[in-house]
Amino acid sequence: MNILEVDLKEDYSHVVGEAISVLKTGGVIVYPTDTVYAIGCNALDEFAVKRIFSIKEQSSKPLPVLAQNLKWAEELVYFNDKRRELANKFWPGQCMLIMPKKDIIPPIVTTGLSTVALRVMDYPFTNLLLKQYGYPLVITSASMPNQGSTGDINKLIEAFHNHIPRPDLIIDAGVLPQSNPSVIIDCSTDKPKVLRIGPSKPQDMLKLLEL
C-alpha cells in the first residue's frame, strides 16, 4: 500500500499521474472528494470493482459512479427530459442522481440492479483525475465495515494498515474540511424521490423537484 501526500493548493499533477498508473492496472485508490475520502477504481473494470467489495467486506450494496460531466453521463445512463433537467440543476455539485443504467456499466457495480447512482462533482482534484484518466470512477466512502465515512485520512491509514486486502494507493490530502453528505435523488421513476438530504434545505429541494 503506497501513500502519497498531496497539497491541494499546490501542483498535484504528479500525484494524479501516479493514481492513473494504479487505475490502469486494475488498482484501487483512496482519494479526496468535496465531502469525504472515497475509495474507487475504474467503474467499467469488473475485476477492480470486485476488489472494492473485497476491501470493504461487503457485496450487497450498489456502488455509486463518478463521471466528469453530462456528456460522460449520457454514455452511462438513460436520460429523459425530467432527468436531464435535474442533472442541469444539480450538476456539477453535491448530488447523486439514480437513473437507469446502460450496459456499459457492469452488473457487479449495481449488484444486479438496473439503476445506478451517478454523480458529477465540482472538485479540482477529481476533475483533473477524470479528465486525464478518461474513465468513470467508483465513488464510495473509504470507511471500513461498521465505521462512518470520514475526512480524516489518519483514521483511514490506521484502519487499512492492519487490513488485508488493502487499497493500492492512498492519496493523503490531510484532514478534509467538514462537509454535509451529498444529496441522493431517485429519478428512475416518473416522480423523483429525495432519498437523502445534504446541504440543501428540504423545502428548497421540493421546489427544485417541481419540474
The total number of structural domains that make up the chain: 1
Question: What pLDDT is attached to residue 35?
Answer: 92
Question: What pLDDT is attached to residue 151?
Answer: 93
Number of H helices, E strands in the chain: 7, 11
Ranges of residues in the chain with a pLDDT under 50 are: 211
User: The cell 487499512 sits on which residue?
Assistant: 160
Question: What pLDDT is attached to residue 152?
Answer: 94
Residues 54 and 73: their CA atoms lie apart, in Å, by 27
Question: What pLDDT is attached to residue 122?
Answer: 92
Question: What pLDDT is attached to residue 19?
Answer: 98
β-strands 29-32, 37-40: how paired?
A: antiparallel
Domain housing 168: 2-209
Query: What CATH code is carried by the domain that includes residue 167?
Result: 3.90.870.10
Please write the tens of the pLDDT for every residue from 1-40.
899 999 999 999 999 999 999 999 999 999 999 999 999 9
Question: What pLDDT is attached to residue 204?
Answer: 56
Question: What pLDDT is attached to residue 188?
Answer: 94
- C-alpha cell recorded at residue 179: 462537509
Question: What pLDDT is attached to residue 162?
Answer: 82
